[in-house]
Amino acid sequence: MQASRPTIFWNADKQSAIVTQRSPFSGQNHTRVLNMTPTQYDAWIDGALIQNALPNLTPGEREFLMTGITDEEWDNEFKR
């Protein structure tokens, strides 16, 4: 499953971003506000493990950033 790169708009304080990503499960675009800095995001893009680059994000938020899949879609897809 190949995810596309998210669309990111940094808030003025550069401490959070509005992130839009297309889910490969539903094909829908989802938007979330994620508490991350450009430096943290760049560290991940440059090859750091996402949990090391963005430790303040929840596992679900990191999954959303990587794939566009929301917690709700995981729950629906795998009937958790």
- pTM of the entire predicted model: 0.89
- The contacts of residue 35 (CB under 8 Å, 6+ apart) are 15, 16, 56, 57
Is 1 domain-assigned?
no
In a domain, 13, yes or no: yes
pLDDT in tens, 20-52: 999 998 899 999 999 999 999 999 999 999 999
2 within domain boundaries: no
Residue type, 4: S
Mean pLDDT of the chain: 92
Residue 41 domain-assigned (yes or no): yes
**Segment 61-70 mean pLDDT:** 94
Range of the domain at 68: 7-78
Inside any domain, residue 32: yes
Q: Facing residues of 20 across strands?
A: 7, 31
- Total domain count, the chain: 1
